[in-house]
A and B are shown apart, each in its own frame.
Chain A
Amino acid sequence: GQNIDQPTEMTATEGAIVQINCTYQTSGFNGLFWYQQHAGEAPTFLSYNVLDGLEEKGRFSSFLSRSKGYSYLLLKELQMKDSASYLCAVKDSNYQLIWGAGTKLIIKP
């Protein structure tokens, strides 16, 4: 079967750096997405990786290794507003989007 694994919950301190990992086993690969979802709100797009390497976008960066079936989302200079769930999703060979259950990130002052 197809599977996306992420830690259920992580805690970090305001101003620090946190890395949220995502591993996947899917039938084929057509890109990996990261979304942010605040409690009670809609998921919002953060990043897309289809080639190996690091994509940087301000305080957020996303890394992909297709050979390892692995990605991470790196958040720098954490702010209280970064408290949210972070969803990893992979498009398989049929372009179906397979979603992880999300990682709840708690930021402490």
Chain B
Amino acid sequence: IAGITQAPTSQILAAGRRMTLRCTQDMRHNAMYWYRQDLGLGLRLIHYSNTAGTTGKGEVPDGYSVSRANTDDFPLTLASAVPSQTSVYFCASSDKGADSTDTQYFGPGTRLTVL
């Protein structure tokens, strides 16, 4: 089934450790996004990529980095995890770039707990 996959499904991480969340899509969408979702708050954009080879900062980029080496993969790295990064992380993609009205489609999410 076409769509977006994320790994791991959940993770408990010690503070200070490095962690990479993986995201892969097989829809050949140009744009990809990383969001975090916290209780009582709307989804907040961390980083995005309009096309392979380009990335941009969202609303809450500090402490996170991304890369977009190819169309399908968009990993999110926490260089040194802190407890405030405990959240549910969603990867999304859209056919056109972030500067369009195109619908975004979401992966199943990664639940990350930083202790």
Contacts and interface: CB of A to CB of B under 8 A. Distances in A.
Contacts of B103: 33, 45, 48
A99 B105 contact: no
A27 to B, nearest CB: 14
A98 B42 CA distance: 8
Contacts, number: 46
Interface in A8-54: 30-31, 33, 41-45, 48, 50
A45 B105 contact: yes
A76 interface: no
Interface of A: 4, 30-31, 33, 41-45, 48, 50, 87, 89, 91, 94-102
Contacts of A99: 42-44
Interface stretch (B12-20, B68-76, B106-114): B106-114
Interface of B: 40-45, 59, 90, 98-101, 103-109
Interface of B, helix, strand, loop or mixed by DSSP: loop
Contacts of A30: 101
B106 A44 contact: yes
B96 to A, nearest CB: 10
Contacts of B98: 95-96
Which of A48, A94, A95 has the most chain B CB atoms inside 10 A of its CB? Answer: A95
A41 B41 CA distance: 16
B42 A100 contact: yes
